[in-house]
Amino acid sequence: MFNNNLILVVIPARGGSKGIPRKNLRLLNNKPLISYSIETAKACEYVDDVVVTTDDSQIALIAEKFGASVIRRSPELATDEVTLDPVVHDAMIQKEKLAFDEYDIIITLQPTSPLITTQTLDRVIEKFDDFSLDSVLSVVDDRHLSWGYDEDNKRYFPNYIERLDADQLPKSFRETGAILATRRQFVREDSRLGTNIGIVEVSREERVNIQTYEDWWIAENYLQKKRTAIVVNASDEIGISHINRCLSLASKLVFHDVLFLIDEHYQLGVDMVDKNNFSYQTYDDMGDLLKYLRAYGPQIVINDILDTSEEYISALKIEDYFVVNFEDLGVGSDLADVVFDDLYEHELGARNVFTGHKYFILKDEFYYQPPKIITNAVNRVLIAFGQFDSNNVTEKIIDSILATNYEGRIDVILGLDYEGLDNLISKYESNPLIQIYRNVSNVSEFIFKADLIFTSPNKSMYEICSIGVPTICLCQDDRDVSHVFANSKNGFINMGRVEDLSQKDIIDQFVNVVNDFDLRMQMHKKMLSIDLKNGFENILAVIEEEYRKFEFNKNLK
């Protein structure tokens, strides 16, 4: 049917916009606002001609650069008081004179609705397959509990019979103003509507109509939104630090679509993502994973699965995804676009590797936790050696503390994979000073309440540092030794490898810190001098910069 109809899209773009001066020419996400409607219309296979009607020479120039023809609007049709009806009628008449032909369908497409898609424009035009329809409008379902006002009685009254949730109310449609399409015979100087009206519902994004700076901000965020896939796992063996980082990351990507992809063999990861109400998909093997990625079509793929293979990252790059990896020391890291490793301070030598504490993402609970107040007395000690404690350092520390005159409380947080739980409980259950916990969800509270902490120099040192609690670190392996952030300059006491320490070494250090208020205060101040609350912003800045380069290079191909 549509091949037998001439279709004209009219884009009205006056130069004298008030709310946002010169808005049609302003750059929205690095493109002139008016360019979006032109490109949407020109991409529609049903449209024959796209014309911009304007009184402004600069708008005319930009419109032509983006492939639209231009109708110069008279000053009489460019005032604030003039409605769009005579403007569109004038553009249609002038365009028909130039074409020596009449159009069948005239579509008004507003440049202030830059998020309208070509697919929506297609749907509007396809509505005219129903010959009984005269005009078609873009609308949104605007159901809500509304109230009217009685001027005579000076009273408000409900516009509903029964108070219901919005999705239970009768449908109520509001025009978006983005698209008004009508058959040619109904386009007059005083109207563009026929009698029988059809509607096309548009998405939440497409309803944005830029009239204010707030609208502009919303539209720009929508345009910058990207589909992001996060590949991550969690289990008793892997631990939960990776998935906690990704959950924190996802919670801050509020303007982006996020899908978690989790190995179905790791139920803990599935449970954690499900509990946080993020969208997720489980997969069986790499082939399955790649299939789901293709179906989702992300622009960015984030991997937090430790060492990646060349085969896996190559498969992602073949699909032209922008690849971001965390803590990846595998050979696949050389092929990733960006690699972050927050546990290292030194440069690894690769151009795409960003290391150090500035790329650590605190869990949300640490953003609203106040700094620790250092007191003269140490009344509460926290022992937390992370997910794994293969050297049984926890017991060694407890025994060392108990060998002193310390009479305060000892909180012990054990990892999910701690094997000696039963032995530890039976050994200390009669001691009222010792409280043992597993699977703690509010770790920031334990850190804040502690006056002194024993831990490994792992990710927890950043969380501790953000609150400023004096801490003694003991290294369990070579990896711990390489985490150089835990040093005196940053407010930590690092005793080195635990295997090289005697119980006396630990006792002496503990007693020294407990009895030296000035030392603990210095440690506290050094910790708080380090900015650990902008990790997400630092990561996002790198990703945005590298993504721009990625897009630029892709466009050159």
**Pair 116, 202: CB distance under 8 Å:** yes
**Pair 176, 139: CB distance under 8 Å:** yes
Q: Would strands 7-12 and 147-150 be described as parallel, antiparallel, or unpaired?
A: unpaired
Cα Rg of the chain, angstroms: 32
Beta strands in 345-456, from DSSP E residues, in sequence order: 353-355, 380-384, 409-414, 434-438, 452-455
> 3-state class of 506 per DSSP?
helix
Closest to 99 in 3D by CA, of 38, 49, 43: 49
Burial class (CB in 10 A: 0-12, 13-18, 19+), 194: middle
Q: How far apart are CA 19 and CA 32, in angstroms?
A: 17
Segment 268-291, tens digit of pLDDT: 999 999 999 999 999 999 999 999
> 3-state class of 191 per DSSP?
strand
Q: In this structure, which topology does domain 2-222 adopt according to CATH? A: Spore Coat Polysaccharide Biosynthesis Protein SpsA; Chain A (3.90.550)
In terms of phi and psi (left: phi > 0; alpha: psi -120 to 50; beta: otherwise), the region of 154 is: left
Q: How far apart are CA 429 and CA 116, in angstroms?
A: 65
Segment 235-259, tens digit of pLDDT: 877 778 899 899 999 998 988 999 9
> 3-state class of 308 per DSSP?
coil
Q: Which residue intervals of 145-257 are DSSP H helices?
A: 213-224, 241-252
Q: One-letter amino acid identity for 468?
A: G
Q: How far apart are CA 266 and CA 220, in angstroms?
A: 38
Q: What is the largest CA-CA distance in the chain?
A: 102
**Pair 34, 62: CB distance under 8 Å:** yes
Q: What is the DSSP string of 436-490?
A: EEES-S-HHHHHHH-SEEEE-SSTHHHHHHHHT--EEEEE-SHHHHH-TTSSGGG
Please list, in sequence order, all residues whose beta carbon lies within 8 angstroms of the beta carbon of residue 164, skipping any fewer than 6 positions away.
none
Geometric angle at alpha carbon 208, from 207 and 213, rounded to 5°:
165
Q: Kindly tell me the sign of the dihedral angle through the C-alpha atoms of 162, 167, 170, 174.
A: positive
Closest to 54 in 3D by CA, of 110, 89, 14: 14
Domain at 225-358+538-556, CATH from 3.40.50.11190, 1.10.15.40, 1.10.3720.10, 3.40.50.720: 3.40.50.11190
- Alpha carbons within 13 A on the beta-carbon side of 383: 25
Domains 2-222 and 225-358+538-556 share a fold: no
pLDDT at 177: 92
Structure tokens at 292: 């789901």
pLDDT at 142: 86
The residues spanned by each domain of the chain are 2-222, 225-358+538-556, 364-528
Q: In this structure, which topology does domain 364-528 adopt according to CATH? A: Rossmann fold (3.40.50)
Closest to 394 in 3D by CA, of 436, 348, 356: 436
Structure tokens at 178: 């983005």
- Alpha carbons within 13 A on the beta-carbon side of 364: 11
In this structure, the chain runs to a length of 557
Q: How far apart are CA 453 and CA 383, in angstroms?
A: 6
> Residue 120: in which H helix or E strand, if any?
helix 118-126
> 3-state class of 351 per DSSP?
coil
Backbone angles phi, psi at 485, to 5 degrees: -60, -30
Q: How far apart are CA 312 and CA 325, in angstroms?
A: 12
> 3-state class of 102 per DSSP?
coil
| Residue ranges in the chain modelled with pLDDT below 50 | 1
Number of other CB atoms surrounding residue 515 within 10 Å: 10
Q: Would strands 257-263 and 280-283 be described as parallel, antiparallel, or unpaired?
A: parallel
